[in-house]
Structure 1
């Protein structure tokens, strides 16, 4: 993620500059007796409900305006208020999409910004889908079930914000950026509000005297298994069968023609309509020089190979040389929910001169990557949005090489720091969390951070840090991991020390817990990071797969090496 292209100006900052004024709509409770209304002392019950719901929001006037019509209904339930907040957000994102659709950029004269605007449309379209799914989730569930799914709903709403933010980060020229940005002000404000409302759902329920479910503690959810909570019995059986060589794939890809397809793209294009279950793609050993994008409509793909280093997907798209936007440099991108990859290598060969050059980009909820190698230099792994789980992987790179805005846990993996160009530095992570109560962030659990062979002799001359904050509320947790001696004693690097609008070290959250190795000593960690903290065991349980990725319980009988519990 380098300084310059992806730094961008955050959507929140832009909103503050615009200073849009939204009038407060007074909510008047209807009554047959006008005298009673005139003599009523204090706010009505409806107004109190709105005050409670809007209290944690950043844009209270917009919140009041949005929920005012619901308050006129004296029988309104918490669901009605939440659905109204989501519906209003959906309406505004649709308007943003319309504004973006009217922004025309010539592909011949300005290919970079043409593609950026097209990307923006795609991202907003996915945001619309997510909001529609969120509205249905709330409408289809009773309040007790909704309590159980509140974390999932918050994750979806956080992803909606990330998709809007990514839209703006893609666009370079001010004349295009400002038009789309102005059209997104209401949408980003209401998305921000919705995140905060869902994050404080328990307070909303209290305002309506709805009994609150007591969730079991994160510690009780811990175990020694290695799958996230969304992995049901069928997926566990599938992975076990694949490990034993007993999976029957839907299609086989082989360079030598021994399968149905010679390319991965052809196999993905053959995704069947009205699919129920998983679409299983087996990719035989070989080097596949392809640019792969899995569309958001192609859910539940399971792609596996003959092993990392044997089944290799490779590309060299990059920003530094080819002037391609970061999102579109990815060798392999997934935008669909329920994606699983196993025993493959995803590689970007652009090298350090390519600057931003993504090997793997994941933008689909409930995605899981097992036993894979993800290789590149700058911006290797882009955990773009939604919930993601990585296990037993090898991830290599230089600057910001694990970055994104999703909810990601990387567990039991090898993190390999490579040698950058002269006068460059290494930062393992760069998280892009923007909303304090958002669900997103990055957790590295039981990993090893080591230098590659080429870096080892000069590892003390080239600064290497655990990470730097890409956005204001960046959240990164490194726990139970082995940190090599290449990690600088200060541990973390500020995004900028010269421009105050990038002083994210004042607001970001960097946590460590129970790490080991010569780079794990926290005594000399940088005092610039005001919210840096060494966690207690109880605090650390919040960032386990069970708790951080909204697991109701760990699944039993895992068939890959298990994690170390707290």
Structure 2
């Protein structure tokens, strides 16, 4: 029902319930909104993993494992629960990545949504994205990708049983500030019993900042993991914290190459200006 190269906002009202299906929003279908009810959000669920066989018999791999994949621009979701119900993979298991949602389109916004999974729950693939008042749960690298995204008033819950990382921001060869995750006024907690790093350097330009965030004791004192980057302090990796609180925010054990930001250094990461939000978060004018 949606025309190719759509330019008008189309709102799908989704009634409460459990929807077991795989949804892919193609690149040519922009301006789509999924709207659930706040009192009883609908759940869109699946259980594909990277090792699940596709129609051609070959493994889907991480990119095609999501329950919901958004390839179009100007996508909005409100009051939706995105879920990948695949079981938590065993340590060292190959192909256990199981994405609940992948967002590859630009200028996407999520309000009062929840994302449930284990390894690789939320694939913040690429583009400008905004998450407000969202709940995100997983075990290993459960927020990952190249995106330049702002997470505001979000709750991150780790269910990792062993050492893991909350984020794996890629960065790649992109210029500074073109890619990175900013979390502000959020909460980090854990119900799995395993300690977590705030992030691990998936690439030489990995960039993550936490500000005004409560960090429970689940956060490892070192805070950050350089992973395979030998000299993170000179490679372009940028990990920062500003005015965070809680037992996990104790700075005394942090790695020496992390940044305890000043007010001036933190300012670019603190609001929707980080994702050029004034131009799109309220939605483009209808033609």
2:205 matched residue in structure 1: 473
List runs of 5+ in structure 1 lacking aligned partners: 1-269, 497-501, 557-566
Alignment RMSD (CA, Å): 2.1
1:151 matched residue in structure 2: none
- Matches of 2:195 and 2:232, distance apart in 1: 18
Matched, 1:542 2:283: no
- Matches of 1:555 and 1:289, distance apart in 2: 29
Query: Which residues in structure 2 correspond to 1:140-179 (within 5 Å)?
Result: none
Query: Which residues in structure 2 correspond to 1:356-367 (within 5 Å)?
Result: 356-367=97-108
1:355 matched residue in structure 2: 96
Query: Which residues in structure 2 correspond to 1:256-335 (within 5 Å)?
Result: 270-273=1-4, 275-307=6-38, 310-320=41-51, 323-335=59-71
- Matches of 2:186 and 2:63, distance apart in 1: 26
Structure number with larger C-alpha Rg? 1
Deviation at 1:550, TM superposition (A): 2.1
Q: Secondary structure at the match of 1:477?
A: strand
When residues 314 and 539 of structure 1 are mapped into structure 2, their CA distance, relative to the original with a 3 A threshold, is same
Choose the corresponding residue for 1:381, options 122, 128, 150. 122
Q: How many residues are matched? A: 269
- Matches of 1:315 and 1:552, distance apart in 2: 34
Moved more, 289-298 or 307-316: 307-316
Contact 2:197 2:223 in 1 (8 A): yes
Deviation at 1:301, TM superposition (A): 0.4
- Matches of 1:279 and 1:554, distance apart in 2: 16
1:505 matched residue in structure 2: 232
1:484 matched residue in structure 2: 216
**Normalized against structure 2, the TM-score is what?**
0.87
1:448 matched residue in structure 2: 187
Matched, 1:432 2:170: yes
Q: Secondary structure at the match of 1:352?
A: coil
Q: Secondary structure at the match of 2:247?
A: coil
List runs of 5+ in structure 2 lacking aligned partners: 54-58, 90-94, 283-287
When residues 375 and 402 of structure 1 are mapped into structure 2, their CA distance, relative to the original with a 3 A threshold, is same
Moved more, 363-372 or 429-438: 429-438
Q: Secondary structure at the match of 1:542?
A: helix
Deviation at 1:272, TM superposition (A): 3.3
Contact 2:4 2:28 in 1 (8 A): no
Cα-to-partner distance string for 1:266-291 (whole Å, 9 max, x where unaligned): xxxx2135644201101111111111
**Normalized against structure 1, the TM-score is what?**
0.45
2:285 matched residue in structure 1: none
